[in-house]
Amino acid sequence: MGLFDQILSAINDPNSQASKDQVGGIVNTVQQLANSQNLSPENTQTTMSMLGGYVRSALQDKRSNQGADAVQSLVNQFSGTRANPSAVNFLFPQQQQAQIAQAIAQRTGISANTIQGLLPLLIPVVLGLLSTGTDPRNPAKGGNNQVLNNFLDADGDGDVDVADAMRMAGKFLG
- What is residue 172's predicted lDDT score, i.e. its pLDDT? 62
pLDDT at 15: 86
- pTM, 2 dp: 0.86
- In the chain, where the domains are located: 3-7+20-173
pLDDT of residue 159: 46
Angle at 81 between CA 77 and CA 82, to 5 degrees: 80
Give the pLDDT of residue 174.
Answer: 61
Predicted pLDDT of residue 54:
96
What are the contacts of 20-28 at 24+ separation with CB within 8 A? Answer: 20/173, 22/128, 22/132, 23/129, 23/132, 23/169, 23/173, 24/169, 24/173, 25/81, 25/128, 26/81, 26/125, 26/128, 26/129, 26/166, 26/169, 27/166, 27/169, 27/170, 27/173, 28/81
pLDDT < 50 stretches in the chain: 157-160
